[in-house]
Amino acid sequence: MKRLIVTVIGGGSSYTPELVDGFIRRADELPLAEIRLVDIPAGREKLAIVGALAKRMVDRAGLDVKVVLTMDRREALTGADFVVTQLRVGGLAARVQDERFPLKYNVLGQETTGPGGLANALRTIPVMLDICNDIEELCPESWLINFANPAGLITEAILKYSSVKCLGLCNVPINMIMTVAKLLAVDRQDVAIDFVGLNHLVWGRKVSCQGRDVTDEILEKLADGAALTMNNIPDLKWDGDFLRALGMLPCPYHRYYYMTDRLLAEELAAIAPGGPGTRAEQVQAVEAKLFELYRDETLTEKPKELEKRGGAYYSEAAVSLISAIYNDKNEIHTVNTANAGAISCLAADNVVEINCLVGRNGAVPMALGPLPTEIAGLVHQVKAYEILAVEAGVRGDVAKALLALIAHPLVPSVTVAKELLRELLEINKDYLPQFTAK
């Protein structure tokens, strides 16, 4: 049996122990030879700390798996079977800017959507396409599992502008499944959700438990105040009348669209004097504590505190997806991939977040027909933004970037969009070669 090589780009991330833990748990079905952790020179210290912990975890598990630490991406990609990208261009400092600068214009600041999400995407697209150039040359048969945010938009850029076999992955769907299982006091395997939408804009069209439709039951629990959120999103309670009218399970990120005024007020209060700061600033504090824990040479497993970072079930989602491809399981996973006609009112090359049958040939989207009217307008609007954002990010096209912001439902006007774009390009100029070259 061929032993696998997995290359993790962004290997110095605080999430890496979560990923390594997932490979350890599935060692019986994924025969790894090497885990190659790659980072850039600025991440050298973090890579050394995380890499040492990864080696201790593998040793404790008694696995014959080599953990390689390197700054040489091309060397790490050579011969890889799977590539996992979990990078953030500009690091958390750039995320702080993404979350802060829109607030000057009374627009929500968020790392994956709206103006902050566009800034993140424009920084990330050229880096990801450069990585894809290397993959095409050095490991063209490998699968790229992309976690880099905004995951759906980045996956769309990769599928449109490279030949790399790529699936985008997010931990929101698996978090929703886990939450529903807890609300019903059942095992997660008993729960199935028919997901439809885009990354961070996905709905559960139907929720089933042991084959029984429990959608209304779950919506009532949420209406009564049950929590369905993630660490990086305030737990604002859903309006019961809205949930019953919608008839579908919203994801935690829908609060940015359905509760925009309340989220904006929360964010403005957070950056006021005496406030806790943006989510990115809170994460910086969490990461500092995590890396202190990681430095402990007696630590041989991922610490409980990692859950506060916001990547719950990341390893379960990623490693189970890799196993489904490698072992040709033909099982259902929720991934970001080309629509290919599954949602009849969207173009075939639009990347959607949807349930797919996953095996050695990748993901086959499960046909859904047209979008329900209740969500179609919002999906089309955000997809238009994503298409324009990809074109702007690939070509360094200022006009497309402006149109992307104007198309986004969180941006109130052309005037505000122009101001947002001016500041976005200025504060990110060191990371936007596709624009500054012009």
Q: Could you tell me which residues come within 8 angstroms of residue 153 by beta carbon, excluding any fewer than 6 positions away?
A: 117, 121, 199, 351, 386, 389, 390
> What DSSP string runs through 359-402?
ETTEEEEPP-BSPPHHHHHHHHHHHHHHHHHHHHHHHT-HHHHH
d(CA 227, CA 182): 10
The b/e string for 195-233 (b: 16+ C-beta within 10 A; e otherwise) is: bbbbbbbbbbbbbbbeeeebbeebbebbbeebebbbbbb
d(CA 157, CA 46): 29
Phi, psi of 5 (to 5 degrees): -115, 125
Q: Could you tell me which residues come within 8 angstroms of residue 419 by beta carbon, excluding any fewer than 6 positions away?
A: 105
Q: Which two tokens stand for residue 216?
A: 């209304």
Angle at 247 between CA 203 and CA 373, to 5 degrees: 70
Residues 99, 379, 197, 226: is their CA dihedral positive or negative?
positive
What is the rounded (10 degree) CA torsion for 184, 188, 194, 198? 110
Q: Which of 15, 253, 256, 294 is catalytic?
A: 253
**Secondary element (H or E) of residue 269:** helix 260-271
d(CA 203, CA 373): 13
Question: What are the start-end ranges of the H helices in 105-237?
Answer: 114-138, 151-161, 172-184, 215-223
Longest Cα–Cα distance in the chain: 60
d(CA 329, CA 338): 20
d(CA 320, CA 30): 10
Residues 165, 191 contacting (CB under 8 angstroms): no
Is position 105 annotated as part of the catalytic site?
Answer: no
Angle at 307 between CA 302 and CA 308, to 5 degrees: 125
CA Rg value for the chain: 21
The b/e string for 305-325 (b: 16+ C-beta within 10 A; e otherwise) is: ebebbbbbbbbbbbbbbbbbb
For the annotated catalytic residues, the residue numbers are 253
